């Protein structure tokens, strides 16, 4: 894999958006400075034009309580079938924006809230990435394995994809 660091803001946001929205689910980690971080699987609602990653959550959740105490977070996205991975370090804040909640609301989301759309604990989490690292293969999993095996036997290095830093300056 060749390394590519993306420093242009627009290009960085596009790469972040493509990977985060395509993979969709991540482990959302809070309390990251402690010996026992808290991790929860979460679905991305959107990566906006500023590079912020949005999630719907319950204000009563452990992750929201942790964010109130320390807003440092880490997100780990993984799509093993496509060999695409994304790790994000950033800060999170809790946002009450009824229009945005309505925008993201659907039947799947409704299942997480006992009182439906009227649940007073519905909150948005906005993650502002500070840095990210990605792995993005050009080929699907089986071809990537075959090319790696071929490279190991022949000594010929094939370009199987990219990995690198995504820098989204605020």
Element (DSSP H or E) covering residue 42: strand 38-43
pLDDT (0 to 100) of residue 95: 98
pLDDT (0 to 100) of residue 143: 40
Mean pLDDT value of segment 110-134: 92
Q: What is the pTM of this model?
A: 0.82
> In this predicted model, what pLDDT tens digit does every residue of 65-85 receive, in sequence order?
999 999 999 999 999 888 889
Homologous superfamily, domain 2-166 = Electron Transport, Fmn-binding Protein; Chain A (2.30.110.10)
Residue 151 CB partners (closer than 8 Å, separation 6+): 157, 158
């Amino acid at each position: 894999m060749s390394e590519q660091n993306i420093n242009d803001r627009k290009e960085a946001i596009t790469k972040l958006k493509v990977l985060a929205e395509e993979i969709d689910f991540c482990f959302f980690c809070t309390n990251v400075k402690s010996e026992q971080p808290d991790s929860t699987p979460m679905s991305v609602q959107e990566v906006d034009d500023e590079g912020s990653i949005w999630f719907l959550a319950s204000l009563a959740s452990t992750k929201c309580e942790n964010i109130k105490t320390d807003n440092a977070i880490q997100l780990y996205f993984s799509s093993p079938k496509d060999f695409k991975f994304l790790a994000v370090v950033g800060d999170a804040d809790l946002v009450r924006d009824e229009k945005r909640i309505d925008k993201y609301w659907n039947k799947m989301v409704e299942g997480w809230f006992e009182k439906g759309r009227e649940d007073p604990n519905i909150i948005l989490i906005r993650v502002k990435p500070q840095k990210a690292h990605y792995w993005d293969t050009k080929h699907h999993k089986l071809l990537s394995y075959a090319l790696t095996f071929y490279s190991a036997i022949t000594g010929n290095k094939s370009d199987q994809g990219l990995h690198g830093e995504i820098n989204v300056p605020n």
